[in-house]
Amino acid sequence: MIKRISSGGPWENIVGYSRVVVAGPWVLVAGCTSTVDGEVRHENDAYGQTKTAFDVALQAVEQAGASAEDVVRTRLYVRDIADAEAVGRAHHEIFGEIRPATSMIEVSGFIDHRMLVEIEVDAYSEALQDGDRP
């Protein structure tokens, strides 16, 4: 069974995607940035943007019925690799004990020039496989 969860953000309808897709035990979270209520938070602060983006992503993981401890992979897209330490520090604060597989990739830019970071999260929860869905 596949379940699609929307955040209600405008880009989902324009582009045609869901914030989260739950496919069996997998929770796949689309790219998240530090945009909250239509505003980019922590302008010029890669650390703050990373923390906010993970807050958005982990809220989506929880809405799908999983938790941060179920996260098995993260992807970190950064506009400037010089921000790697700040982005990595924010990632470590959240996932230092969980230790998911991860990648950090420098990209040329994002849809809004104020964005410094976009993240993706994949989680795996056997409870979801057994049909324990919210």
pLDDT in tens, 59-91: 999 999 999 999 999 999 999 999 999 999 999
State the residue for tokens 């995607």.
Answer: 17
Looking at mean pLDDT, say which of 12-21, 30-39, 44-53 comes out highest. Answer: 44-53
Give the residue extent of every domain in the chain: 2-129
pLDDT band at 7 (very low <50, low <70, confident <90, very high): confident
pLDDT > 70: percent of the chain:
96
What is 2-129's CATH superfamily? RutC-like (3.30.1330.40)
Residue 132 is predicted with a pLDDT of: 54
pTM of the model: 0.92
Tokens of 131: 């049909």
Please name every residue paired with 4 in a beta bridge, in sequence order, or none if there are none: 21
CB 76 within 8 Å of CB 50: yes
pLDDT > 90: percent of the chain:
86
